[in-house]
């Protein structure tokens, strides 16, 4: 039976690149996002490359819907071996810390913190039984490094990163891997990057970051998945936080 990767938050940027990278290794692919027409186009694109994929339309800002979604993917493919979580949309904007309020934070928490926790709860029993599985959490660099004007998303993603680190430690020696990829770059071909290029969401802080091909990020994930030797990969690596002297 083929292995299966579920890409939760699948678009034209990183999502389809991760699907393609794992698909090339023989994985079947479940693609999850809200807009079915865009998912169907990605499924067709992957089929043209010999990769079997299926689309699942769901709103990941509804953590209560996770069990049904995971069950639907299992109904279609029989199993889930790897789950990459990286949904992002125009609703998730950076906010300067001085302008942040509770309502803004509350709006970000379901998609960026509550749902990934529920996703892990939904897949862990299967992975524990098999003694294998991998949860890959994609984050922006503000989860790692606080920066002026780039708050809002940062505090919530850093909470998810904190959770992921604990999870990684707890799962050591179980065969289950939890890792996070933190991206200090603008992802080519993503809707977000295209909007930023057009000036809609750009800021001086973001303009300082390089552009990355999502295929290179997907390669990080394949390396992390196969080696399982680190909890976090920062891209570019030069921006990884340095360990403090002990
Ligand atoms: N793009 C960048 O420049 C950039 C920079 C740094 C970090 N990142 C991180 O990298 C990851 C991938 O980003 P990407 O832009 O390359 O993504 P992508 O794979 O191009 O697309 C992500 C998809 O998530 C879906 N999504 C958004 N909200 C959702 C929701 N509530 N429920 C279900 N699906 C939802 C969107 O589709 P629908 O709208 O159809 O649901 C979108 O197409 C994200 O974690 C992001 O935070 C991105």
Question: Band of the pLDDT at 112, cuts 50, 70, 90?
Answer: very high
State whether residue 11 is helix, strand or coil.
coil
CA 87 – CA 111 distance, rounded (Å): 8
Sign of torsion over alpha carbons 53, 55, 56, 61: positive
Question: Band of the pLDDT at 204, cuts 50, 70, 90?
Answer: confident
Q: What's the 124 CA to ligand 1 centre distance in angstroms?
A: 24
CA 153 – CA 150 distance, rounded (Å): 7
- The reported pLDDT for the residue numbered 200 is 41
The pTM (predicted TM-score) of the whole model is 0.97
Query: Which of the pair, 208 or 224, is modelled with greater confidence?
Result: 224
Looking at residues 111-125, what average pLDDT do you find?
A: 98
87, 93, 114, 207: residue to mutate for ligand 1 pocket, most atoms within 8 A of CB: 87
The string of pLDDT tens digits covering residues 148-157 is 999 999 999 9
97 is written with which tokens? 């810390």
Q: What is the atom index within ligand 1 of the atom nearest the CA of 192? A: 1
Look at residue 207 and tell me whether its pLDDT is greater than 90. no
Residues with CB under 6 A from ligand 1: 9-15, 33-35, 38, 58-61, 86-89, 111, 138, 140, 183, 186-187, 190-193, 214
7, 9, 31: residue to mutate for ligand 1 pocket, most atoms within 8 A of CB: 9
């Amino acid at each position: 039976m083929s292995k299966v990767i579920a890409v939760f938050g699948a678009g034209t940027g990183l999502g389809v690149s991760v699907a393609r990278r794992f698909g090339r290794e023989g994985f079947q692919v479940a693609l999850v996002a809200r807009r079915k027409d865009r998912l169907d186009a990605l499924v067709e694109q992957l089929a043209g490359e010999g990769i079997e994929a299926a689309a699942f339309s769901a709103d990941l800002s509804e953590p209560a819907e996770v069990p049904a979604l995971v069950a639907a993917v299992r109904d279609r493919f029989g199993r889930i071996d790897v789950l990459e979580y990286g949904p992002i949309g125009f609703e998730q904007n950076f906010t300067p810390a001085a302008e942040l309020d509770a309502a803004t934070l509350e709006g970000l928490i379901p998609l960026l913190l509550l749902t990934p926790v529920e996703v892990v709860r939904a897949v862990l029993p299967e992975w524990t039984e098999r003694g294998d599985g991998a949860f890959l959490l994609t984050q922006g660099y503000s989860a790692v490094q606080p920066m002026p004007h780039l708050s809002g998303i940062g505090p919530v993603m850093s909470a998810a990163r904190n959770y992921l680190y604990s999870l990684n430690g707890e799962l050591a020696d179980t065969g289950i891997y939890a890792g996070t990829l933190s991206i200090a770059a603008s992802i080519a071909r993503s809707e977000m990057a295209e909007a930023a290029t057009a000036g809609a969401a750009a800021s001086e802080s973001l303009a300082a970051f390089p552009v990355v091909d999502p295929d290179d990020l997907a390669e990080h994930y394949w390396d992390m998945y196969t080696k399982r030797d680190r909890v976090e990969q920062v891209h570019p690596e030069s921006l990884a936080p340095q360990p403090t002297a002990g």
